[in-house]
Amino acid sequence: MLQRATNYYDDLFVRLIGDGVPQRIAVERVATAYLDGKPLPVGKKKITKKERDGLFWASAVVKGCPPDDWGGEAMSLALARYLGQEPVAADGLVTRVAREAPETLIRAVRHAGLVLNPHSPRRFELGQAASESEAVAEICRVLDLFALAHRERVAAVEAQKAQLAELSVFDLLIYASLYAFEVLVPRDFKVKALALPSRVDLELAWDALGDLLAWKLAEANASSLKLTDDSIGRSIARHLRPILFESGTASAGEALRNLRAFHALMDAQIELNEFNSRSADAFSYDEGIRFERRGDRLEIVQVDPAARAAWQREGLKLERLHGYWFHRALDTYVEQVAADPAKWRIGRPENAEANRLAWLRALQAQLRLREAYGVADVVTSDSGDAVDLFRALLSLNLMSVFFQQDFLAAFAERLDASGDWIVALQRLAMDGLREGLQNRMPVMWSSRDSKVSNITGWTVTASEPAGNPRMASAILDFWSYDMVATAERLQRNEPGLQPHLFERPVLKFGATLVQCPWVVGMQNNSTAAINNLRRIGARRGQARDEARRIEAGLARLLEKRGFRTLLNWVPPRGPDDAGEVDLIAVLDGHLFVIEVKSTFMRRSQRDAWLHATTTLRKAGQQLRRKVEAVSVAIASDPGFRTVLGLSEGLTPTRQTVWIADTCIECDHQRFGGFLKVSVEELLIALRDDRHLLNDPAGLLAGSYGVDEAREADASESGWSLYPDGFSAERFAEVIETEAVWDVRDPTQRRPSSSVAVGEDCSRASHENDQRK
297, 292, 270: which is closest to 153 by C-alpha? 270
> What pLDDT sits at residue 695?
86
Residue 563 is assigned to a structural domain of this protein: yes
Residue 764 is assigned to a structural domain of this protein: no
> What pLDDT sits at residue 663?
92
Do 177 and 442 meet the contact criterion of CB atoms below 8 Å apart?
Answer: yes
Residue 637 is assigned to a structural domain of this protein: yes
Residue 526 is assigned to a structural domain of this protein: no
Domain-terminating residue out of 95, 125, 155 = 155
Residue 126 is assigned to a structural domain of this protein: yes
> What pLDDT sits at residue 748?
34
At 35-84, the pLDDT tens digits run 999 998 877 778 899 999 999 999 999 999 999 999 999 999 999 999 99
Strands 590-597, 378-380: pairing is unpaired
At 618-660, the pLDDT tens digits run 999 999 999 999 999 999 999 999 999 988 778 899 999 999 9
Q: Give the mean model confidence (pLDDT) for residues 417-432.
A: 94
Residue 670 is assigned to a structural domain of this protein: yes
At 346-367, the pLDDT tens digits run 667 777 888 889 999 999 999 9
Of 31-35, 42-46, 448-452, the range with the lowest mean pLDDT is 42-46
Residue 370 is assigned to a structural domain of this protein: no
At 194-234, the pLDDT tens digits run 666 666 788 889 999 999 999 999 999 989 999 999 999 99
d(CA 379, CA 385) in angstroms, rounded, equals: 8
Q: Give the mean model confidence (pLDDT) for residues 331-354.
A: 77
Of 144-148, 462-466, 608-612, the range with the lowest mean pLDDT is 462-466
> Higher pLDDT residue, 537 or 429?
429
At 145-164, the pLDDT tens digits run 999 999 999 999 999 999 99
Residue 409 is assigned to a structural domain of this protein: no
The domain that contains 666 carries what CATH number?
3.40.1350.10
Do 82 and 90 meet the contact criterion of CB atoms below 8 Å apart?
Answer: yes
What residues make up the domain containing 664? Answer: 543-749
> What pLDDT sits at residue 239?
96
416, 463, 481: which is closest to 188 by C-alpha? 416
Q: Give the mean model confidence (pLDDT) for residues 549-572.
A: 97
Domain-terminating residue out of 92, 125, 155 = 155
At 683-714, the pLDDT tens digits run 999 999 999 999 887 777 665 555 555 555 55
Domain-terminating residue out of 104, 130, 155 = 155
Q: Give the mean model confidence (pLDDT) for residues 485-506.
A: 91
> What pLDDT sits at residue 390?
94
At 716-747, the pLDDT tens digits run 667 899 999 999 999 999 999 999 999 864 33
Task: Please give the angle made by the CA atoms of 176, 179 and 183, to the nearest 5 degrees.
Answer: 140
Q: Spell out the SS3 assignment of 510-576.
A: CCEEEECHHHHCCCCHHHHHHHHHHHHCCCCCCHHHHHHHHHHHHHHHHHHCCCEEEEEECCCCCCC
Q: How far, CA to CA in Å, does 70 sit from each of 17, 31, 96, 583, 608?
A: 18, 10, 11, 35, 24
Average pLDDT, the chain: 88
* Total structural domains within the chain: 2
